[in-house]
Structure 1
Amino acid sequence: MQIFQYILLGFLVVCAISVSFSKSLLNSILIFMSYSLIMSIIWILLESPDLAITEAAVGAGVTSILFFVTLKKIHAMGEEDKDDE
């Protein structure tokens, strides 16, 4: 189980670094979602289910939805699709 925790901590570091180097806003949001989900798994392993539920609901759920709505409002999602073509 200790090895699994170290792997999760490694994923957290990778997610944190890759968010800062990502050029696409959409990719940054998806990486942030995965960071929150990994963090909620770590909270479960640390036997704190109340924090795990809060992290999953707020971090991966509500915050990500607000980020997606913001990208849609500022038309950043459409512009990224045009840049890819």
Structure 2
Amino acid sequence: MSTLMLGLGLVIALAMVGAAVVALVTRSTVTAVLAAGLVSLFASVFFVVLAAPDVAMTEAAIGSGLTTFLFFFVMGRIRREGEK
């Protein structure tokens, strides 16, 4: 692995850790869900750097896209149920 790829991988890994810390320490549920989606998005970029585009596409679609959507969908349903 070249030095550039190693540096890029390190930057992406640090960004993932930073987003994970934000997801853990924030008090806002919306911010936590967005930060968790960002971790997954950084993971998909990391898989591209590792030359695994099929895994990256799956992670982006399922991990970042669908999971984040489902969290927000359920949060909306819970809030509507609480208003009744």
TM (norm. structure 2) is 0.84
Q: RMSD between aligned alpha carbons?
A: 1.2
Identity of aligned residues (%): 29
1:16 aligned onto 2:20: yes
Q: Which runs of 5+ in 1 are unaligned?
A: 77-85
String of CA shifts for 1:29-78, please: whole Å, max 9, x gaps: 110111111100000110111110110000111111100101101118xx
Separation (CA, whole Å) in 2 of partners of 1:47 and 1:4: 13
Alignment of 1:72-83 (within 5 A): 72-75=76-79
Which residue does the alignment assign to 1:81? Answer: none
Which residue does the alignment assign to 2:8? Answer: 4
Q: Which runs of 5+ in 2 are unaligned?
A: none
Q: 29, 33, 42: which one pairs with 2:46?
A: 42
Stretches of 4+ aligned residues off by more than 4 angstroms:
none
Residue 23 of structure 1: SS of its match in structure 2?
A: coil
Separation (CA, whole Å) in 2 of partners of 1:61 and 1:17: 20
Aligned length: 76
Separation (CA, whole Å) in 2 of partners of 1:19 and 1:74: 20
1:32 aligned onto 2:41: no
Separation (CA, whole Å) in 1 of partners of 2:34 and 2:22: 11
Equivalent AA in structure 2 for residue 28 of structure 1: A
